[in-house]
A and B are shown apart, each in its own frame.
Chain A
Amino acid sequence: MNFDDTPQEAAFRETARKWVAANAPKEFEQELSKSSLGRIRLAKHDMVEVGKAWQKKKAEGGWACLHWPKEYGGRGATPIERVIWQQEEGVYGKLTQPFQIGEGMCGPTVMAWGSEDAKRRYLPKLAAGEEIWCQLFSEPSAGSDVAGLRTRAEKKGDDWIVNGQKIWTSGAHYSDFGLLIARTDPNVPKHKGLTMFFLDMKSPGVEVRPIKQANGMQEFNEVYFTDVVISDSQRLGAVGEGWSVSLTTLMNERMSIGSRLATGVPELFEFCSNLMLEDGLAIDDPAVRSKLASWAVKSSGLKYTSYRAISALSKGERPGPENSIGKLVSGMMLQDIATYAMDLQGAAGVLTGADEETVHGQFQQMLLSSPSMRIAGGTDEILRNIIAERVLGLPGDIRVDKDVPYNKIPTKGR
C-alpha cells in the first residue's frame, strides 16, 4: 500500500506539471481557487471564452481529451494518465466545465457509433474546444424514465423531421451541436422505438429558452424543436437502437473518476472554527463536533474510495461500481450541511445578502442550490436502484410498461 507513482506515472506527471506551469492562465488562478461550490463565474471575463482559449492551448500541446486516440484529437493516454493530468491541471480544470458534456458523453458516443467521416469531422474540434456539444435527453415528462420521452423524429425522404421539447440542457445556449434522442416509432415498446441523432444547434426550428431555477439562477435551458430537419447521415446507430446508444453515453458519465465532488465539509469546518456561539467557539461545542466528525468521515471516505478506484486504474483494472456512491453521498451532505450551518447562525441564518457578516450567504446559496445535486445526473433514488441491482444483484423493479407499445402506455395528458 502506497501513494507513490510508478516510474512511468512519475515521468508523465513531471511532463504534465511542467507544461501546466508554463502554459496555464495564471491570471485566473486565485478566482478559480476560491469558487469551490456551484458554477464558476469570472468577475471580468466570459467563462466560455476563457475556457475555449485554455482548451485550444491544451489541444495544441496534446493535453485535450487525452484518453482519446490521437487521430481524433486526443493523446492516446491511459486511464491513469488521464487521472494524473486532472490532478496536475488542478484549479484550471474548472475552466473545462463548458466542454465536459461533450468530452464525457457526446464525444464517446460519436466515437462508438459515428461513421469514420463523422469522427474525423467532429471529434478533433470538440476536443480542441472549437465546437461545444450539449446533450438533449431529458424531457418534461421523461426524467428518470428517460425512455418514456416524447420528442418525435419522422422520416421524410433522406431526412428526419423533429418536433418536441427537451429540458435541463446545460449549455444549450452556447453549444454548437447537440446529441439528440428521439422517438421514431411509437407503435413498439418504449425502449425499442428510439433513435439517436446529432444536430447543429443553429438549425432552423431550434429554440433555446433559459429556465429560471428554484434557486433564482439560470444555468439550464429548455430546447424546443419545430419541424427541425436532420439529415439521415446524422443518425448514430440503427433506427430503433437509440436506447443502446444512449447507454454508451450514460456509462461514460459514470466513468469519470478522480473528479472531486464538493461535499461542503471544508466550508463547514472553517465556518465552525470561526463562529462564536454563546459559550465559545462552535468547534468547541460537543454537539457541533459530533456532527462535523460524522460529515468529515463521509467526505474522507469518498476521497479514499476514489483513491481505490485510481489504484484499480493504475493496475489496468476496470474500477468497480463503488464509484456510483459519490454523488449520492455528496448531494445529501451538501443539503444537510447547508441546513446545519444556517441553524448555527440562529435567526440571522435567514438572511442571504452577500454583505451579511456571517460567511456572506454562502450556506444559504448552498441550501437553495443543493436540491439539484440530488436530482441531476440520476436522482438519489435511481442511484440507489443502480447500487441495489448492479452491485448487490437484487431484482429489477416490476415494469408495468415494459412490453406495452409506447402509444398504449397510460400517461397524464394523453
Chain B
Amino acid sequence: MNFDFSDDQKQLRDQARKFLTEKCSPKTVRVVLDGKAPYDKELWKGLAEMGFLGVAIPEEFGGAGAGHLELCVIAEEMGRANAPVPFSSTVYLAAEALLIAGSDAQKKKWLPAIASGEAIGTLALFEGKGNPAPKNIKLTAANGVLNGVKKPVADGAISDFAVVAARTGSSGRDGDISLFLVDLKAGGVEVKSLTNLDPTRGQAEITFKDCKAEPLGAAGEGWSILTQVLDRAAVLCAFEQVGGSDRALEMGRDYALDRIAFGRQIGSFQAVKHMLADMYVSATLARSNSYYGAWALSTNAADLPEAAAAARISATQAFQHCAKNNIQVHGGMGFTWEFDCHMYYRRANAMALGLGSLSYWEDQLIDHMRKKNAA
C-alpha cells in the first residue's frame, strides 16, 4: 500500500509553497480583500508561468499533462496561501467540465487559454437560494439562446467564459438539464458584482438575455455531467480546505507560543492546548479523507462520489473549525481587521457553501453509502 503522494508530487508541493510564500503574502491578499483589485493579476500570470493552471490539462491542449494528484497538492497550497485568484472556478469547475464533456473544438479553444492564464472561466449553476438540484434550474435554453439569471456565480465578474446549466425540458427528470458554453465577452449578458463573505474571491449575478450559447455535451446530459464536475471539484476544494485548516492551526499554535498572559505562554493552559489539539484532530481526519478522494479522483474509481462527499464534508467542517478557533486562540487581536485570522474565517465559511452546502453533500454521502450497503 502506498497511500501517500509520490516524491515528485511532494516536490511539486514544496515548489508551489515556495512560490506562493514569495508571491502571495497576506499583504498581497489584502490588496484584493480591501477592494483595490478584483483579483491578483500578477499572481495569476505567475501561476500560469509555473504551469500550475494547466497541471491536469493534457499536453495536446496546452497543459502540463500531469494529473489530478498533482493538482491536489497545488490546491492544498492555494488554500494555505488563501490565494486571491479565480483558481477554483477556472481550474476545478470550468476546465473539468470541458475535460469531461467538451468537443475537440471547444477544448482546443478554451483549455490552452486556461493553461496560459489568458482565459478565466466559471460554472454558472445557482439561481438564488438552494442547493444543486435540477428543479432549482429555471434559466431556459431554446433555439441556441439562453434566458435567465444566475447567482451567485463565483468569479463571474472577471470570467471570460462560463459553463451554464440550463433547462431544456419539463419532464421533471434529470434529463431536463443541459449544459452550455457561453463567451461572456460576446454580448447578451449583463454582469453585476455582488458583495460577499470573502472579498478575496468575487461573486456575481449574471443575467442572460437572448444570449447565444453552444451546447457542452449532449442535450439532456447536463445533470449527469454536472454531478461529475461537482464531485471532482469537491475533492480539489477539499485540498484547499485542508491547506487552509493547517494554516489556521499553525497560526493559532504560533500565537499560543508567543502570547504571554498570567505570566506564562497561553499555550501552556490546557483549555488552549485542548482547543488546538481538537483542531489538529479535525485537520488530520480531513486530510485522510481527502487523500482517499484524491485516489478516487485520479483513478476515476467507482467510489468517487462517496469519496468526494466524505472529503467535502470532512474538509468543510475542519476548515470552519480551525478558522473559528484560530480567532478564539488569538482573543481580541483575532477580531481585528489587522490580524489575518478573519481572512481564513471568511474563506472557510464561503468555501463551505460554494459547491452546495453541507446538507447537499450529506445527502450525497448517505445515498451512496446506502447503495453500496445494498449491493
A interface residue numbers (CB < 8 A to B): 1-5, 269-270, 273, 283, 286, 289-290, 292-294, 296-298, 300-305, 307-308, 310-312, 314-315, 322, 325, 328-329, 381, 383-385, 387-389, 391-398
The 8 A-B residue pairs whose C-beta atoms are closest, nearest first, are: A301-B285, A388-B273, A304-B288, A293-B362, A384-B277, A387-B277, A394-B267, A395-B268
15 A-B pairs within 8 Å (CB atoms) are namely A1-B5, A1-B298, A269-B369, A283-B366, A289-B363, A296-B369, A297-B314, A300-B289, A301-B289, A302-B285, A308-B3, A310-B3, A388-B267, A388-B276, A398-B268
Complex CA gap A395/B349 in Å reads: 31
Complex CA gap A5/B268 in Å reads: 43
- Give min CB distance, A265 to chain B, whole Å: 10
Give the residues in chain B near A328, CB-CB below 8 Å: 281
A-contacting residues, B1-43, CB 8 Å:
1-6
Q: Are A322 and B276 closer than 8 Å at their CB atoms?
A: no
Give the residues in chain B near A270, CB-CB below 8 Å: 373
Give the residues in chain B near A391, CB-CB below 8 Å: 277, 280
Q: Are A307 and B268 closer than 8 Å at their CB atoms?
A: no
Give the residues in chain B near A315, CB-CB below 8 Å: 2, 4
B197 within 8 A of A: no
- Residue of A289, A297, A311 with most partner-chain B CB within 10 A: A297
Give the residues in chain A near B272, CB-CB below 8 Å: 394
Complex CA gap A5/B3 in Å reads: 11
Give the residues in chain A near B286, CB-CB below 8 Å: 301
Q: Are B2 and A2 closer than 8 Å at their CB atoms?
A: yes
A-contact bits for B282-315, CB 8 A (1 contact / 0 none): 0011101101101100100000000001100110
Q: Do A283 and B370 form a contact, CB below 8 Å, given A384-B274, A392-B276?
A: yes
A-contact bits for B259-274, CB 8 A (1 contact / 0 none): 0000011011010111
Complex CA gap A122/B277 in Å reads: 40
B351 within 8 A of A: no
How many chain B residues touch A (Cβ–Cβ < 8 Å)?
A: 49
- Give min CB distance, A382 to chain B, whole Å: 11
Q: Are B295 and A1 closer than 8 Å at their CB atoms?
A: yes
Q: Name the contact of A308 in the complex, choosing from B249, B274, B288, B317 (C-beta under 8 A).
A: B288
Give the residues in chain B near A294, CB-CB below 8 Å: 313, 317, 362
Q: Are B3 and A296 closer than 8 Å at their CB atoms?
A: no
Q: Which residue of the partner chain B has the closest CB to A84?
A: B1
Q: Name the contact of B3 in the complex, choosing from A3, A389, A396, A398 (C-beta under 8 A).
A: A3
B365 within 8 A of A: yes
Complex CA gap A104/B288 in Å reads: 26
Q: Are A297 and B285 closer than 8 Å at their CB atoms?
A: yes
Chain A: interface secondary structure? helix
Give the residues in chain A near B298, CB-CB below 8 Å: 1
Q: Are A325 and B281 closer than 8 Å at their CB atoms?
A: yes
Q: A305-B288, A307-B292 are in contact. List 5 more A-B contacts (CB 8 A).
A: A1-B69, A289-B362, A308-B288, A322-B284, A394-B276
Give the residues in chain A near B145, CB-CB below 8 Å: none
Q: Are B5 and A293 closer than 8 Å at their CB atoms?
A: no
Q: Are B288 and A301 closer than 8 Å at their CB atoms?
A: yes
Give the residues in chain B near A293, CB-CB below 8 Å: 309, 313, 361-362, 365-366
Q: Are B281 and A290 closer than 8 Å at their CB atoms?
A: no
A-contacting residues, B321-375, CB 8 Å:
358-359, 361-363, 365-366, 369-370, 373
Q: Are B270 and A397 closer than 8 Å at their CB atoms?
A: yes
B256 within 8 A of A: yes
Q: Are A305 and B273 closer than 8 Å at their CB atoms?
A: no
Complex CA gap A315/B253 in Å reads: 30
Q: Name the contact of A392 in the complex, choosing from B2, B264, B280 (C-beta under 8 A).
A: B280
Give the residues in chain B near A5, CB-CB below 8 Å: 1
Q: Are A307 and B1 closer than 8 Å at their CB atoms?
A: yes
- Give min CB distance, B319 to chain A, whole Å: 13
Q: Are A307 and B280 closer than 8 Å at their CB atoms?
A: no
Complex CA gap A397/B294 in Å reads: 39
Complex CA gap A304/B6 in Å reads: 17
Q: Which residue of the partner chain A has the closest CB to B312?
A: A297
B142 within 8 A of A: no
Q: Do A296 and B2 form a contact, CB below 8 Å, given A304-B289, A305-B288, A398-B268?
A: no
Q: Are B253 and A325 closer than 8 Å at their CB atoms?
A: no
Give the residues in chain A near B1, CB-CB below 8 Å: 2-5, 307, 310-311, 314
Give the residues in chain A near B284, CB-CB below 8 Å: 301, 305, 322, 325
Complex CA gap A191/B286 in Å reads: 38
B221 within 8 A of A: no
Q: Are A387 and B280 closer than 8 Å at their CB atoms?
A: yes
B160 within 8 A of A: no
Q: Are B291 and A308 closer than 8 Å at their CB atoms?
A: yes
Q: Are A385 and B270 closer than 8 Å at their CB atoms?
A: yes
Q: Name the contact of B277 in the complex, choosing from A292, A392, A398 (C-beta under 8 A).
A: A392
Q: Which residue of the partner chain A has the closest CB to B309?
A: A293
Q: Name the contact of B274 in the complex, choosing from A290, A302, A388, A395 (C-beta under 8 A).
A: A388
- Give min CB distance, A333 to chain B, whole Å: 11
Q: Which residue of the partner chain A has the closest CB to B256?
A: A394
Give the residues in chain B near A269, CB-CB below 8 Å: 369, 373
Give the residues in chain B near A396, CB-CB below 8 Å: 268
Complex CA gap A336/B143 in Å reads: 56
Q: Are B288 and A307 closer than 8 Å at their CB atoms?
A: yes
Give the residues in chain A near B267, CB-CB below 8 Å: 388, 394-395
- Give min CB distance, B307 to chain A, whole Å: 9
Give the residues in chain B near A388, CB-CB below 8 Å: 267, 273-274, 276-277
Q: Do A296 and B277 form a contact, CB below 8 Å, given A1-B295, A329-B285, A398-B268?
A: no
Q: Are A1 and B277 closer than 8 Å at their CB atoms?
A: no
Q: Name the contact of B291 in the complex, choosing from A1, A283, A389 (C-beta under 8 A).
A: A1
Q: Are B373 and A273 closer than 8 Å at their CB atoms?
A: yes
Give the residues in chain B near A3, CB-CB below 8 Å: 1, 3, 295
Q: Are A1 and B273 closer than 8 Å at their CB atoms?
A: no
Give the residues in chain A near B253, CB-CB below 8 Å: 392-394
B210 within 8 A of A: no
Complex CA gap A307/B287 in Å reads: 12
Q: Which residue of the partner chain B has the closest CB to A309?
A: B3
- Residue of B270, B274, B281, B317 with most partner-chain A CB within 10 A: B281
Give the residues in chain A near B273, CB-CB below 8 Å: 384-385, 388-389, 392, 394
A-contacting residues, B216-267, CB 8 Å:
249, 253, 256-257, 264-265, 267
